Amino acid sequence: MSHTEIEPIQVVVVSGTVDVGTPRPKEYRASHKTAVLTAANPTYQVAGYDPARDEVYVNVLDNSVVLTSSNGQATDLANTTGTLTAPNGRILGVSNGSEYCIKGQNEIWFSAATYPTRVGFTVIREI
């Protein structure tokens, strides 16, 4: 069996065929929810790892919650029982009309030790 040699041809691009124009502006989408933490369900995952997430706004409505970054940390008994004297995470007090802003793409979990506790949140994603 014989092989045929193919001669390469020279290609020269004299101008672009696609007009790049101005870059597309950033667009954002928001989703809103209120989670109710109870003795039966004392933890809640607000968001998993998300490279497109820009920030999360949080409003703690009834009782303090503990902000954590994993299920294991959220379910720690120090976060779901007692008086939160030594929480495994960051305590967020009742917001009283203001909001906490969490930036970044990591997991976000909440835990509560007093029930019921409502936590409102808005997730902002770049699309």
Do the beta carbons of residue 76 and residue 34 sit within 8 Å? Answer: no
DSSP character at residue 97: T
Q: 29: Cβ–Cβ under 8 A, 6 or more apart, which residues? A: 124, 125, 127
Whole-model pTM? 0.80
- Contact call for residues 62 and 117 (beta carbons, < 8 A): yes
User: Mean of the per-residue pLDDT values for the chain?
Assistant: 92
- 21-79 pLDDT tens trace: 788 889 999 999 999 999 999 999 999 999 999 999 999 999 999 999 999 999 999 99
Predicted confidence band of residue 18 (pLDDT cuts 50, 70, 90): low
Q: List the domains of the chain with CATH numbers.
A: 29-126 (2.60.120.770)
